[in-house]
């Protein structure tokens, strides 16, 4: 299976390095310093106390890579709309597109229950002008949920933290041959890979856990353990999670775990910097839309009361705008 990874940052670099090391024909789409570093040194991966360097074909031009069997999109949310149209040279008649990204994806409402009063299934907070859906239609998509931590401390270098679980699945649910094929490829690269018959529920479950921790960490500069151990902050996050639970229940993504149980799992992971905190510290654009604004948009359509989600969105967005990490209001 010919695989291209779009974005060789932390998650994309980890997936590309491990898939290539397992013998899969992997190429990468990257820019600037990352492109130069991977060309010169290969994809460097620090994992388990050892560093490896895996050479892969890399370019800043999708046409140079050609048609693929699988395109893994590992961009940050703010970059996807601008990049989507440029990915067309990677897409053949049967190419599968798998976004390995945080938060609510552009295709998420396409498979929501028909009786959910959502109106337009396009999410304005994610794909305001429809460019992503036009370039990457849902029928091409295989959903993916990433349960691991890693960082890219410098271009072309990925440092694995903990976890190796990847869940894939069809947006419309059920099982498919292509989902199993991709799962097997990921498993061959050492990931704990699963094919889920309900990937939308998996997306919402992960979002339910990190839509609070990520923005709160960016607002406060605190690592995860400090956030969880503050009783007032924890109470605010649990209230936010209950609102998100209600929204999920109305779109076919029920969460059975309690917020307290989810936070107990996070506490067991120890101290870590969330991806949004890493982005804030590096002055990179923040993924507010996919993690919080999309949830607020869906809840608004469903008329779910969301005082906590609204406060979290407003505070995080204002902070990011003041620091130049989110577009100004128009």
Which residue has 């929501």 as its token pair?
A: 112
Taking the CA atoms of residue 36, residue 41, residue 45 and residue 50 in that order, the dihedral angle to the nearest 10 degrees is: -150
Q: How many CB atoms are located within 10 Å of the residue 129 CB?
A: 10
Exactly one of 2, 76, 206, 273 is catalytic; name it: 206
Strands, E, within the chain: which ranges?
3-6, 26-29, 43-47, 50-54, 57-59, 68-73, 91-99, 143-147, 150-154, 157-160, 165-169, 192-195
Q: Decide: helix, strand or coil at residue 270.
A: coil
- Annotated catalytic residue 2: no
Closest CA to 204 of 244, 240, 167: 244
Note the Cα 50 to chain centre separation in Å. Answer: 26
Both tokens assigned to 156: 């072309």
Note the Cα 87 to chain centre separation in Å. Answer: 18
Residues annotated as catalytic (active site), given as ranges: 206
């Amino acid at each position: 299976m010919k695989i291209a990874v779009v974005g060789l940052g932390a998650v994309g670099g980890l997936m590309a390095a491990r898939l290539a090391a397992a013998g899969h024909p992997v190429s990468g789409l990257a820019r600037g310093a990352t492109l130069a570093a991977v060309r010169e040194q290969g994809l460097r991966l620090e994992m388990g106390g050892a560093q490896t360097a895996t050479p892969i074909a890399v370019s800043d031009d999708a046409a140079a890579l050609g048609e693929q069997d699988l395109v893994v999109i590992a961009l940050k949310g703010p970059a996807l709309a601008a990049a989507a149209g440029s990915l067309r040279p990677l897409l053949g008649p049967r190419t599968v597109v798998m976004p390995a990204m945080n938060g609510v994806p552009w295709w998420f409402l396409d498979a929501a229950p028909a009786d959910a009063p959502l109106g337009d299934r396009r999410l304005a907070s994610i794909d305001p002008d429809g460019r992503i859906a036009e370039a990457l239609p849902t029928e091409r998509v295989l959903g993916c949920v990433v349960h691991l931590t890693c960082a890219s401390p410098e271009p072309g270098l990925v440092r694995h933290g903990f976890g190796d679980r990847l869940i894939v699945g069809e947006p419309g649910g059920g099982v498919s041959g292509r989902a199993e094929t991709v799962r097997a490829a990921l498993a061959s690269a050492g990931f704990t890979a699963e094919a889920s018959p309900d990937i939308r529920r998996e997306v919402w479950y992960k979002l339910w856990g990190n839509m609070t921790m990520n923005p709160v960490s960016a607002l406060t500069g605190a690592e995860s353990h400090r956030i969880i151990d503050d009783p007032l902050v924890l109470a605010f996050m649990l209230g936010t999670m209950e609102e998100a639970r209600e929204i999920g229940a109305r779109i076919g993504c029920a969460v059975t775990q309690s917020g307290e149980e989810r936070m107990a799992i996070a506490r067991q992971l120890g101290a870590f910097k969330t991806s949004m905190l890493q982005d804030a510290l590096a002055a990179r654009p923040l993924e507010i839309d996919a993690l919080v604004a999309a949830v607020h948009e869906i809840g608004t359509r469903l008329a779910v009361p969301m005082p906590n989600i609204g406060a979290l969105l407003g505070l995080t967005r204002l902070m990011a705008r003041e620091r130049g990490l989110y577009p100004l209001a128009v």
